[in-house]
Homo-oligomer: A and B are copies of this chain.
Amino acid sequence: MKNLNMKAARAGKDLSQQQLAEIVGVSRQTINAIEKGDYNPTIRLCIQICKALDRTLDELFWEE
């Protein structure tokens, strides 16, 4: 399922997928795939993304 929280938080920081990818040290495609929701990143990458976007794990990655 799509990660719209992450997309919104990234937009709120005015970062492109490319820019976020560079900050957290992964490829643009990885960021794209996570937002698109068709895969399952590692917790360390999630934590990196949270720190880059000033959000918590629960805010960006929790799902019921």
Give me the interface of A with B, judged by CB distance under 8 Å: 40-44, 46-47, 56-58, 61-63
A34 to chain B, nearest CB (A): 9
| Other-chain contact of A42, B40, B62, B63 (Cβ < 8 Å) | B40
Nearest CB on B from A42, distance (A): 5
Please name all residues of chain B whose beta carbon is closer than 8 Å to the beta carbon of A44 when the two chains form the complex: 40
Can you add 17 more A-B contacts, CB < 8 Å, to A56-B57, A57-B62? Answer: A40-B42, A40-B43, A40-B44, A41-B43, A42-B42, A42-B43, A43-B43, A43-B46, A43-B61, A47-B61, A47-B62, A47-B63, A56-B58, A56-B62, A57-B57, A57-B58, A58-B58
